[in-house]
Copies of this chain bind each other. A is one copy, B any other.
Amino acid sequence: MNAREIFYSKDLENMRRMIKDRKVLIGVIGLGSIGAVVASAFLFKGFKVVGIDKRRDDIVRMIKKKSKDLHQEDVVRKILMQSFGKKFFVEEPKPEVISDLDVYIVIVPVEWRNDHVDTSVLEEVSEIIGRNMRRGSLFILESSVPPGTTRRISRDFLERFSGMIAGEDFGVAYSPERVSLGRAFEDLVYRYPKIVSGINDLSLEAVENLYNTVVEKGVLRASSLETAEFTKLIEGVYRDVNIALANSLAEIASLIGVDFWEARELANTQPYSHIHMPGTGVGGVCLPNYPWFLISLAEVFDKKCWCRDIIKIARDINSSQPKRVVEKIIEGLNMLEIKDYKNVKICILGLSYRGDIYDIRGSPSIEIARSLREKGFEKIFIHEPYLSKDNLDLGDKIVATKDLEECIRGSNVILISTDHSIYKDLDIKKIKELAEEKKMLIYDGRNMIKTLEVVDRETEILYGGVGKSWRKL
């Protein structure tokens, strides 16, 4: 495909010229939701990009069908579809494809699973790259990983299977993705500086030059691979701990009869106060993993370090939050003297773990639904406006629907679990009209209902929520 020029070498002028002339062939390994964003950013800036993914056929099919399932961000879909076959190619991880690339940008899942960090996919990818890479190429890891992973795993595998020396024959860099799905393309290209690090000065130089071309806010150098790896994790742990704090303060507020959301908004008018939003749980594939990456690493050095405690307790609080929401619903049903769980219809609003995006990985709503099922509830529906089809079978007889009215109709319990903007249009009256039930429980996990009103004297409505005390309307 491209001329067999050497990209990574001491000839910095040549390196810069190759970048400037877009002669560097970029491989993005892992075309998941973030990988697709990185690929589209390089395409947007004029590079030729090969996306490498085992799901190659599925991806190509989605591109050809112009399916929205390819990616939730319009700009990413548009770029990938328009570039396909011209500047953008999708391949399976085949030796001849791998060996053709100048840069390997690796974004594959590294997760906490069964009490250890699962780096198997990263190992596999590092091995196949190592076996096929050319001298003068650059390896960049973007996945969030425990500090030391780029050096101990990727570098090691690359050297072992290539027989070459990292730093000398090829570059090794780490540059964390730190974008937020839903606006990730914009975050990457326009909004945040990119953090870069290298195993040696030349690797750093290479990754810096490359990303300076793509990222408008420029790059920031970290002094070591480990510093950059650590940096990404602490951004996430900060968030996880602060959501746990918000969940805790919300519970205290509801105990003492204060509306947490009002207090939070007031407190945050002080410029150093950034109190987070509580909710029904923390989902996704980031926040639930990062704390364990740090905790397990700290334990290697100091088995019982106090330094793990706050991170651990925050994680426990957040992972128990769905269970607590279920307890609140049962508390509310007791107050309404509804005992026949079998005939209670529950409508959970929102399947995505975050508002206004579609991402159901680690969704608290699924956990809540399963836990309700265990308690004997049989009619559980989840509404999700961003489903690509009408219904989605989630197993355990739990069905997600795109139809809001279908979900609410005849429901005794309405639980708002995701802060999709469309739920702001709901009010007590509208819910009551749709539900047509005489006894209803509305539990607002995301402060979506702004006005509480009495609908009619005959309907008994109990309203509560995360950070809100129970109120009979």
Residues of A within 8 A of B (CB): 147-148, 178, 191-193, 195, 220, 222-224, 226-228, 230-232, 234-235, 237-239, 241-242, 244-245, 247-249, 251-253, 255-259, 262-264, 266-267, 269-275, 294, 297-298, 301-302, 305-311, 313-314, 317, 320
Taking a contact as CB atoms under 8 Å apart, the answer to whether B310 and A235 are in contact is: no
| Sampled A-B contacts (11; CB under 8 Å) | A192-B271, A222-B263, A223-B262, A234-B273, A235-B275, A238-B242, A244-B310, A245-B311, A252-B305, A256-B298, A274-B274
- Cα–Cα distance between A255 and B296 once the two chains are bound (Å): 12
Q: Are B245 and A237 neighbours in the complex by a CB distance under 8 Å? A: yes
CB-based nearest B residue for A238: B275
Which of A269, A270, A273 has its CB near the most chain B CB atoms (within 10 A)?
A: A270
A271 to B232, CA, bound (A): 13
Q: In the bound complex, do residue A249 and residue B262 qualify as a contact, i.e. CB atoms below 8 Å apart?
A: no
Complex-state Cα separation, A294 to B267, whole angstroms: 15
Report the bound CA distance from A220 to B302 in whole Å.
48
Report the Cα distance A247→B309, complex, angstroms. 11
The answer to whether A301 touches B256 (Cβ under 8 A) is yes
Q: Which 10 A-B pairs have the closest CB atoms?
A: A251-B307, A255-B301, A248-B307, A231-B263, A231-B266, A235-B267, A235-B273, A252-B298, A230-B258, A274-B274
CA of A257 to CA of B270 in the docked complex: distance in angstroms?
35
Within the complex, what minimum Cβ distance (angstroms) separates A53 from chain B?
Answer: 27
- Choice from B226, B245, B252, B307 contacting A257 with Cβ under 8 Å: B226
* CB–CB A297/B245 < 8 A: no
How near does chain B come to A257, taking the closest CB pair, in angstroms?
Answer: 7
- On whether the beta carbons of B264 and A234 are closer than 8 Å, the reply is yes
- The majority secondary structure among interface residues of chain A is helix
Q: A226-B258, A252-B307 are in contact. Are A266 and B317 (CB under 8 A)?
A: no
Number of copies: 2
Q: Of B148, B230, B251, B311, which one neighbours A248 at CB under 8 angstroms?
A: B311
Nearest B residue to A324 via CB reads: B306
Kindly list chain B residues whose C-beta atoms are within 8 Å of the C-beta of A223.
259, 262
A227 touches B259 (CB 8 A): yes
Contacts of A147 in B (CB 8 A): 256, 258
Residues of B near A274 (CB, < 8 A) are: 238, 274
On chain B, the residues within 8 Å of A227 by CB distance are 258-259, 262-263, 266
A230 / chain B contacts, CB cutoff of 8 Å: 253, 256, 258, 263
A67 to B: closest C-beta gap in Å: 31
A314 contacts across to B, CB distance below 8 A: 310
**CB neighbours of A267 from chain B (8 A):** 231-232, 234-235, 238
Interface contact B307-A269, CB-CB below 8 Å: no
Distance in angstroms between the alpha carbons of A65 and B285 in the assembled complex: 64
The answer to whether A224 touches B258, judged by C-beta atoms less than 8 angstroms apart, is: yes
- Whole-angstrom distance from the CB of A319 to the nearest CB of chain B? 12
A274 to B: closest C-beta gap in Å: 5
Residues of B within 8 A of A308 (CB): 248, 252
Q: Which of A248, A263, A274, A317 is most buried by chain B, counting CB atoms within 10 A of its CB? A: A263
B228, B238, B264, B272: which contacts A239 (Cβ < 8 A)? Answer: B272
